[in-house]
Amino acid sequence: MEIKIMRNILDRNQNKADEVRKLLERNNVLMANLISSPGAGKTSLLERTCEELGEKFRIGVIEGDVTTDRDARRLKKYNIPIVVINTEGGCHLDSHSISKVLGEFDLNNLDILFVENVGNLICPSQFDLGETFKLAMVSTTEGDDKPDKYPMLFREAKAVLLNKTDLIPYTNFSYESFRSDLDRINGRVPLFEISCTAGSGLMEWFNWITEQVASFRIKI
Amino acid sequence: MEIKIMRNILDRNQNKADEVRKLLERNNVLMANLISSPGAGKTSLLERTCEELGEKFRIGVIEGDVTTDRDARRLKKYNIPIVVINTEGGCHLDSHSISKVLGEFDLNNLDILFVENVGNLICPSQFDLGETFKLAMVSTTEGDDKPDKYPMLFREAKAVLLNKTDLIPYTNFSYESFRSDLDRINGRVPLFEISCTAGSGLMEWFNWITEQVASFRIKI
């Protein structure tokens, strides 16, 4: 019974996601759905990205949070359009919640729409929001076992960001173990080894997302 | 419609949780439901706890994971009864899954049953498993904003464990901000500031859980 309900929920989510995707493509807006554990550094990545690419691209952000607008307040200084979705207990965003807030953006004046999903490695990977692609983020302090323990997200992701690499010396994180699990799950996925606080490794990420915007425009 | 379905699911979960709680009380078993983000240190806490209290108490563990038995394998060396529940995509344990595996334990020969819930700060806090109490764990590297962003867990918890305190010097974690949010949400909750890898602050935790077993036995 619960499996049937879940299938209905996912089917309805998929239909709305397809609508959202078409609307964004008509408006030339790339949407990236950023997924990680709580505190892995999603908002920090958006801060660094707005600083570096804020003049090159017109960036918008949808902030998904159980409650509070703390992450949105951190991004206000970049003077970009931000909409907060509070799930009030929900552990993921769905395409209906995205569809409802898209009207608050001027899509004609947007190049990239980042969705910062609710901090959670599980359900966000199961719900298509109509995004162009998903991004998986994980921080070294969470341990090297995350791809193996949460394979769906790492299989679904178009790129993986490994954050807090500056803290590796203070942890027992094994890069070899992380990399070999990731290779097994999604061998060809680009991996960016970054530190949002130390500012390292970010240039490769900025170049990659810039290329994604270019190839998205050619494709659609 | 979805709200009604959710209410039904929670009602059925509550009924089974009440059964589980009665069964455990009849057998004098304290069950602690340990909840945190992925990689905050739940398994490390259980490792330290088995090392320190493994002779004093008969400890059992239920390991909740989306997939894999990696955490269970880390605990095997303590020669304790361990049962793994793989949720296969589910983001939390529920009382039905706990009820199904309780038969695999010899409850007459158990003092404490730790449940390591699926790594997630949201849904696990909404599902009563029949536990004696919930424990909230958070690591300093996740940032100081977790109580404010995930208040339900911190409101529900009988104790809070702040792990990875040895890494504070390398992060922008503000103890004052964390503490003031936690005080507002659950002012009287005991807070244990620990590092499972450095071994610091653990004696207070060992003493507290020992007292909990004693007062649980007097109460039931």
Axis crossing angle, helix B95-102 with helix B2-26, rounded to the nearest 10: 30
Residue A165 touches partner B, C-beta closer than 8 Å: no
Q: Which residues of B touch A2 (CB under 8 A)?
A: 9
Q: Which residues of B touch A151 (CB under 8 A)?
A: 67
Chain B residue whose CA is closest to A122: B91
Q: Which residues of B touch A38 (CB under 8 A)?
A: 37, 121, 142-143, 146, 149-150
Cα A138 to the center of its chain, rounded Å: 11
Q: Looking at the predicted structure, is the pLDDT value of residue A2 above 70?
A: no
Inter-chain CB proximity A39 and B146 less than 8 Å: yes
Chain B residue whose CA is closest to A143: B39
Neighbours of A106 (CB within 10 A): 11
The model's pLDDT over B45-90, given as tens digits with 9 standing for 90+, comes to 999 999 999 999 999 999 999 999 999 999 999 999 999 999 999 9
Separation between Cα atoms, residue B217 and residue B220, nearest integer Å: 6
Q: Looking at the predicted structure, is the pLDDT value of residue A220 above 90?
A: no
Give me the interface pTM, i.e. the ipTM. 0.94
Residue B175 touches partner A, C-beta closer than 8 Å: no
Interface of B with A in 17-36 (CB under 8 A): none
Inter-chain CB proximity A38 and B121 less than 8 Å: yes
Please report the pLDDT score of residue A7 as a whole number.
85
Q: Which residues of B touch A90 (CB under 8 A)?
A: 122
Helix H, strand E, coil C: the string for B121-157 is: CCHHHHCCCCCCEEEEEEEHHHCCCHHHHCHHHHHHC
Residue type (1 letter), A62: I
Q: In a 10 Å sphere around its CB, with 0-12 CB exposed, 13-18 middle and 19+ buried, how is residue A140 labelled?
A: buried
Chain A closest-CA separation from residue B84 CA (Å): 13
Q: Looking at the predicted structure, is the pLDDT value of residue A202 above 90?
A: yes
Separation between Cα atoms, residue B123 and residue B10, nearest integer Å: 11
Q: Which of A65, A67, A122 lies nearest to residue B120, judging by beta carbons?
A: A122
Separation between Cα atoms, residue B149 and residue B112, nearest integer Å: 30
Mean pLDDT, 10 residues at a time, over chain B (220 residues)?
79 97 98 98 98 98 97 97 96 97 98 98 97 98 98 98 98 97 97 98 98 90
Separation between Cα atoms, residue A194 and residue B212, nearest integer Å: 43
Residue among A117, A133, A120, A128 nearest A186 (CA): A133
Please report the pLDDT score of residue B7 as a whole number.
85
Q: Which of A66, A167, A172 lies nearest to residue B141, judging by beta carbons?
A: A167
Please report the pLDDT score of residue A24 as a whole number.
98
Please report the pLDDT score of residue B219 as a whole number.
79
Chain A closest-CA separation from residue B97 CA (Å): 14
The model's pLDDT over A94-135, given as tens digits with 9 standing for 90+, comes to 999 999 999 999 999 999 999 999 999 999 999 999 999 999
